[in-house]
Amino acid sequence: MKWFKPVTFCLILFSINNVHAQIEESPIKIFGYFQNSLQHWTAFEDIREHNSFSLQQLNFFLQKDLGRNWTALVNFEFLNNFSSSRQWGDANLEEAWLRYRLNEKFNIKLGLQIPIFNNLNEINNRTPLLPYIIRPLVYETSFGEFFPVEEFVPARAFAQIYGFLPIGKFKFDYAVFLGNSPNISINNYSSDESPNEQSGIDTTTTFLVGGRTGIRYGELKLGVSATHEKINHFMYIAQYIGRNPSELKEVPAIRLGGDFSYGFGNFWFESEFILVDIKTGIPELDLNLEFYYATLGYYWTEKLFIYGSYWITESHITILFTDEDFKEDEGILIPNFGIAYNLTDRIRMKAHYSKVKSNDTIRLILPNRITKKEDNFSVYALAISVFF
């Protein structure tokens, strides 16, 4: 029976560790958000008038507390009636991170994540919490197939430190994050070239670096955000503007953002701006993007919220080709208003109307031609958002 005492000791030790693990860990939490909508678009450009039901977005989360200060989360996102067999919509692994939380003053999050940038970036997938059906344009991920959402906001990071520091009645927010540059390899099986590198990885030695700092006081919240990254998107243009491709390699791109929100009485106001500056350093290529939005809302009752909002998106592109100069200024103006009604704490009904005004000015200097194009159309939408 020499083995009895050590075996008994091991069993007791295992039991203690198992009980300790059960105390520290929690069951896996399964939850998510989804929004189904009915939208009617009037005719514009070559697009006919149409209406359609859509599972606009679904986010499915798995969360588990791994210890007293440790939490892991995985977030799957499905867009636009996703079906792989029918080639509809899109599916993405949006987040898979591990967080260490010392307290509200210091958190560190490691792994794939949506970084803190302005007010809406981190929370834009929480559709039941937002009054919009179509979110302010640069946050509408269901439009990612035709609108450059990720040019305006950082979509992915892999390390972030954040928290807030109480200073009297104020709270000082801070966040600093690090991620890949946009120069990500893909496997394009439709091309003649066979894939020869791992997909989904950064092909450069550069990083996305960014952060946000701000203050909160009661219902007041304001902050500024910024990112810096280097991109290779425009190397292919070099041959058309008489430049060497190396001159357009790892071009700096800077985002600057600001957010302001304030609640007073039954009123709620929020706004943001985003400026994107592509610093090529050569006069033949100049690119800038701008986005602004402001929303004023009123809680008619505790459950009924009405709002009006105005969104402005502008792009300015200048390319001095070897044979002619090209300049384009495009503005998209979207006045809109809507209502949101909380049927229960987890179900929100919405109605939304948007008037879209698109103005393009294209100037070809050699020969001297100016083309102006305007498109106006309307979007009517109904939706139900659910937190499950």
The pLDDT, as a whole number, for residue 188 is 65
Measured CA to CA, the distance from residue 186 to residue 113 in angstroms comes to 20
d(CA 46, CA 26): 54
Give the pLDDT confidence of 274-319 residue by residue, as tens digits.
999 998 888 888 899 999 999 999 999 999 999 999 999 999 988 8
pLDDT tens sequence across 323-376? 777 888 899 999 999 999 999 999 999 999 999 998 887 666 545 566 667 789
Model pTM? Answer: 0.89
CA 150 centroid distance within chain? 7
Give the residue with greater pLDDT, 11 vs 163.
163
Pick the CATH number of 26-185+201-387 from 1.10.10.10, 3.40.630.30, 2.40.160.10, 1.10.3720.10: 2.40.160.10
- Per-residue pLDDT at 182: 94
**Does 252 sit behind a cis peptide bond, omega within 30 degrees of 0 on the bond before it?**
no
Lowest mean pLDDT among 17-21, 224-228, 380-384: 17-21
Residue 168: pLDDT over 60: yes
pLDDT digits (tens, 9 = 90+) for 179-237: 999 999 987 654 444 456 789 999 999 999 999 999 999 999 999 999 999 999 888 88
Name the nearest CA neighbour of 240 among 279, 197, 276, 285.
285
Res. 22: pLDDT tops 90: no
pLDDT tens digits for range 86-137: 999 999 999 999 999 999 999 999 999 999 999 999 999 999 999 999 999 9
First to last CA, the chain: 56
pLDDT at 327: 84
Cross-strand bridge partners of residue 352: 338, 381
The per-residue pLDDT for 5 is 45
What is the distance between the alpha carbons of residues 339 and 381, in angstroms, rounded to a whole number?
11
| Residue range 259-282: mean pLDDT, rounded | 95
Asked if residue 107 lies in contact with residue 159, where contact means CB atoms within 8 angstroms, the answer is no
Say what the pLDDT of residue 322 is: 78
Confidence of residue 381 (pLDDT cuts 50, 70, 90): very high
Domain assignments of the chain as residue spans, ordered by start: 26-185+201-387
What digits encode the pLDDT tens for the residues 26-71? Answer: 899 999 999 999 999 999 877 899 999 999 999 999 999 999 999 9
Model pLDDT, residue 284: 84
CB 259 within 8 A of CB 214: yes
Question: Coil, strand or helix: which one is 81?
Answer: strand
